[in-house]
Amino acid sequence: MAKNILQQSYNDLIKKNNNTAVLILEDGKKIFGTGFGYPGIKAGEMCFNTSMSGYQEIITDPSYNGQIITFTFPHIGNVGTNFDDYEKSKSFASGIITREPPPLSSNWRSENEFENWLIKMRLTGIYGVDTRFLTKYIKNNNAPAGLISFNPKSNFNFKLLNKKLESWPRIKGANLIPNVSSKRIKKWRKNSWGIKKIMSKNKKLHVVAFDFGIKNNILRNLYDLGLEVTVVPFESSIQKIKILKPDGIFLSNGPGDPLATYSSIKENFDAIIKIGIPIFGICIGHQLLALAFGAKTEKMEQGHRGGNHPVINLSNKNVDITSQNHGFNVVENSLPKTLKVTHRSLFDNSIEGLEHESKPIFSVQFHPEASPGPHDSKYLFKKFYAFIEKRRL
């Protein structure tokens, strides 16, 4: 009976338009909707993001490499897209899902309609599905795999699509950093909107930022402080880093399994964190630091993704509303004595921040650079600056 009802909805959609799309879930469920963006077939890990704004930044965040993003907020596309809000110049996501069709944009900064922009990004989407059901499904099924097929002719070979979904490599155990990292060393010289740089009282301070999939707004926040910023590929050798003579090292966000990434760069990474200069890590940078000091990481059941996650700062008991995007976390009982917990999630009590007991090294799981927000935790960039400046005195 259920199959007949499903088929009937499929037939109804075909009669109404020629943009029928299908979402196939890991357990064989088929959800029909309307395709938009770039036609194609894309598989990935299903996840959901609860942010009410910032969809352009989310879609161009390299940390979503290999994932299909379900937006829980219904109005996606209403402010269009623009040149300034890219986190990277392309999208690494596998696809997107929305409840409503993208409307015409209404915003003074808009330079391109959302669907036209998706086509430019070669990103496949499906709308007209029950995203509340889908969010609960993802939550209860441990980040299942899924596949979107958008064929304007509404001609689906389900046998072939099922095979593609079954053969899709899972994120657990995958090192995805080579997909998103810069291939060459480059300087960053762009400020945030309306922000003047805070110039150092001393010699200009230099930060080397490891690109594990770094977001542009992280680099803007570092540059806003008056820092000279050099971006380097994720596998840059200790010899190259020493030649650059940094005053501090930044470890960026990025996709994939942190253990797989750490295993691929272990010898070099361990040498870099022993240089003795301040280090600040975000997201996978946070996880890599934990692994280097002997802790363990694990895949989360559903991950944290959204702009409304409360995190308590254990040093002053302030609660920051944070932006988050991660599917792995640091295992509590694996922490060495040299690392102390500085921040915790008020959703599930998981570790959100770490600091070394004796070295100027700290990290957070969330995103203090959040664009468009919230901005509660931007103080962490100033903390990093203070560590660097203190060492130079």
- As a residue count, the chain comes to 393
| Long-range CB contact pairs, 235-241, < 8 A, 24+ | 235/181, 235/264, 235/265, 235/268, 236/185, 236/210, 236/268, 237/268, 238/268, 238/271, 238/272, 238/275, 240/185, 241/208, 241/272, 241/275
Does residue 389 carry a catalytic annotation? Answer: no
Q: Which of 309, 326, 343, 367 is catalytic?
A: 367
Does residue 369 carry a catalytic annotation? Answer: yes
Q: Which of 57, 87, 115, 369 is catalytic?
A: 369
Please identify which residue in the block is written with the tokens 């077939």.
Answer: 41
Residue 306's region, left for phi above 0, alpha for psi from -120 to 50, else beta, is left
Contact 80, 111 (CB under 8 A): yes
C-alpha neighbours within 13 Å on the C-beta side of residue 376: 16
Q: Which of 45, 47, 283, 309 is catalytic?
A: 283
Does residue 375 carry a catalytic annotation? Answer: no
Residues 6+ apart with CB under 8 A from 21: 32, 33, 34, 35, 124, 126, 148, 149, 150, 151
- Give backbone dihedrals phi and psi of 303, rounded to 5 degrees, phi first: 75, 175
Helices vs strands, H then E, count in the chain: 11, 17
C-alpha neighbours within 13 Å on the C-beta side of residue 126: 30
Q: Which residues are the active-site residues?
A: 283, 367, 369
